[in-house]
């Protein structure tokens, strides 16, 4: 949606000025009236009349001012853009000649200026963003349309978050309200279940069907486990079955008590068993869905709920492949993961992988590119980011200082590269993960 086109070519009714002039006119009228009454009569009656008129004048002023402000607000963006076109000479004038009679009845050639061409803008506004579209109409202004970042930012006094240069227009995304971090210790911010959408805070909504599989990377202490715990609750809240592989046997592994022994693994053998279980389930789902084929359907149409295979610290597991036998095990698990990554979406089976460091041995780039949501927590080198985001690595990397902050890239979000993001804030003192989990099971 790009809204109505704004240019100098349209006749433009300046209601704000009309209102203002009308108001001045009314005020003069009131004053003249008061003076007349004052001069022509005397006594208590005239005093009362003048007071009354003054009262009415104040009332009219108040009402009109309110109305005027409403108009100003409603037309604010349009007015600013019209001003912008004028102030930056983003229009062309021509001269129009016409034959007219003068007051003696003689024909005369009259020349008048008119606007022959103008840059065209449109806009869209949400609570968080103002997107200004500068249209490229293959005219004198086309080249300029991609160079308005500074000007538009100054025009509205808002920072430009992103510029998207398309074939026929340039989008300027101006930030009205900076994105806010989700605070999980605040009950009202615990997301309401709305289909499979998960609010990740900071203006990001994640849906596994639109964007299957998640990669979370970051050094020790960067917040991987805290974020994964948050996601676990969100998955379970959406009726998903969760399998957990935790080769470091940290907090996640200890959830077997609540989620079930058979779904949680910490040893290589057990991890292989869990992955096998998930792959088998995926094959069964496919077999069933093929036997009951419905064109364009997915798992939800067959009443399957999502399955999440959560694999924390994948690098640690791969490093466990030291002898021939354990290497085989690692290969088997990686092969299973690969199948889930490539084929899981249709059958509702997704994986969430965390790793400290990514390299070609952890996951090759083909597989990596099939992980729809990729997050790098904590500060990283630009080579490190490149391993995670590939061509979506931003040129300028913002400073990352907050705990749990990092860069996020979501396929299909329209963003060209990874951007700054803060993971949902979990106040360990207030938030009881196990208690929340128990409520859901």
Q: Which residues bind ligand ADP (CB under 6 A)?
A: 218, 220-226, 403-404, 423-426, 428
Strands 91-101, 107-118: parallel, antiparallel or unpaired by DSSP? antiparallel
Residue of minimal CB distance from Mg ion?
Answer: 225
In the complex, least distance from residue 236 CB atom to ligand ADP, rounded to whole angstroms: 18
Residue from 380, 433, 427 nearest 408 by CA: 380
The stretch near Mg ion (CB under 5 A) out of 129-137, 225-233, 275-283, 381-389 is 225-233
In the complex, least distance from residue 324 CB atom to ligand ADP, rounded to whole angstroms: 31
Q: Which is nearer to Mg ion, 225 or 380 (CB)?
A: 225
Binding residues for ATP: 218-225
Under 8 Å between Cβ of 120 and 154:
no
Q: Which is nearer to Mg ion, 266 or 393 (CB)?
A: 266
Report the distance separating Cα 175 and Cα 206, nearest Å. 21
Q: Which is nearer to Mg ion, 225 or 241 (CB)?
A: 225
| Residue 218 binding result from Mg ion, ligand ADP, none, given CB thresholds of 5 to 8 Å by partner type | ligand ADP
Is residue 225 a contact point for Mg ion (CB under 5 A)? yes
**DSSP labels, 227-253:** HHHHHHHHHHHTT-EEEEE-TT--TGG
Q: 187 exposed, middle or buried (CB, 10 Å; 0-12, 13-18, 19+)?
A: exposed
Helix and strand element counts for the chain (H, E): 12, 16
In the complex, least distance from residue 401 CB atom to ligand ADP, rounded to whole angstroms: 13
In the complex, least distance from residue 291 CB atom to Mg ion, rounded to whole angstroms: 41
Outline where 99-198 has alpha helix (H): 149-156
Is residue 222 a contact point for Mg ion (CB under 5 A)? no
Cβ neighbours for 121, distance < 8 A, ≥ 6 positions apart: 5, 6, 7, 81, 84, 85, 132, 133, 134, 135
| Residue 426 binding result from Mg ion, ligand ADP, none, given CB thresholds of 5 to 8 Å by partner type | ligand ADP
In the complex, least distance from residue 313 CB atom to ligand ADP, rounded to whole angstroms: 8
Strands 169-175, 160-165: parallel, antiparallel or unpaired by DSSP? antiparallel
In the complex, least distance from residue 378 CB atom to ligand ADP, rounded to whole angstroms: 8
Q: Which is nearer to ligand ADP, 142 or 356 (CB)?
A: 356
- Number of residues lying near Mg ion (CB under 5 A): 2
Q: Which is nearer to ligand ADP, 138 or 435 (CB)?
A: 435
Report the distance separating Cα 110 and Cα 422, nearest Å. 64
| Residue 191 binding result from ligand ADP, Mg ion, none, given CB thresholds of 5 to 8 Å by partner type | none
Which residue ranges make up the site for Mg ion (CB under 5 A)?
224-225
């Amino acid at each position: 949606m790009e809204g109505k086109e704004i240019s100098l070519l349209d006749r433009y009714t300046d209601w704000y000025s009309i209102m203002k002039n009308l108001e001045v006119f009314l005020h003069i009228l009131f004053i003249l009236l008061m003076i007349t009454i004052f001069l022509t009569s005397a006594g208590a009656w005239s005093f009362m009349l003048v007071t009354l008129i003054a009262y009415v004048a104040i009332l009219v002023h108040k009402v009109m001012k309110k109305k005027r402000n409403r108009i100003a607000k409603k037309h604010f963006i349009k007015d600013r853009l019209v001003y912008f076109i004028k102030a930056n000479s983003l229009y062309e004038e021509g001269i129009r000649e016409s034959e007219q009679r003068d007051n003696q009845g003689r024909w005369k050639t009259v020349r008048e200026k008119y606007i022959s061409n103008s840059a065209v803008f449109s806009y869209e506004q949400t609570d968080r963003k103002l997107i200004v579209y500068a249209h490229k109409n293959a005219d004198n202004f086309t080249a300029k349309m991609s160079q308005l970042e500074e000007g538009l930012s100054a025009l509205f006094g808002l920072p430009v978050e992103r510029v998207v240069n398309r074939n026929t227009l340039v989008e300027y995304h101006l930030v009205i309200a900076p994105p806010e971090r989700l605070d999980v210790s605040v009950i009202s911010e615990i997301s309401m279940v709305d289909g499979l959408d998960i609010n990740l805070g900071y203006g990001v909504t994640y849906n596994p069907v639109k964007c299957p599989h998640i990669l979370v990377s970051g050094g020790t202490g960067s917040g991987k486990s805290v974020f994964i715990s948050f996601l676990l609750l969100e998955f379970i809240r959406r009726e998903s079955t969760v399998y957990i592989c935790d080769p470091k046997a940290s907090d996640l592994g200890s959830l077997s008590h609540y989620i079930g022994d058979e779904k949680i693994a910490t040893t290589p053998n057990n991890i292989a068993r869990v992955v096998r279980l998930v792959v088998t389930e995926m094959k069964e789902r496919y077999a069933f869905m093929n036997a009951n084929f419905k064109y364009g359907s997915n798992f939800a149409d067959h009443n399957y709920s999502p399955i999440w295979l959560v694999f924390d610290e994948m690098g640690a597991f791969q490093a466990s492949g030291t002898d021939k036998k354990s290497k085989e095990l690692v290969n088997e698990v990686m092969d299973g993961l690969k199948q889930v990554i490539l084929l899981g979406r249709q059958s509702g089976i997704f994986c969430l992988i965390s790793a400290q460091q990514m390299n070609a041995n952890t996951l090759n780039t083909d597989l990596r590119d099939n992980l729809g949501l990729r997050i790098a927590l904590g500060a990283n080198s630009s080579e490190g980011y490149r391993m995670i985001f590939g061509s979506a690595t931003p040129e300028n990397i913002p400073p990352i200082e907050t705990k749990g902050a990092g860069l996020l890239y979501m396929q299909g979000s329209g963003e060209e590269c990874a951007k700054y993001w803060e993971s949902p804030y979990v106040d360990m003192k207030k938030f009881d993960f196990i208690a929340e989990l128990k409520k859901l099971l």
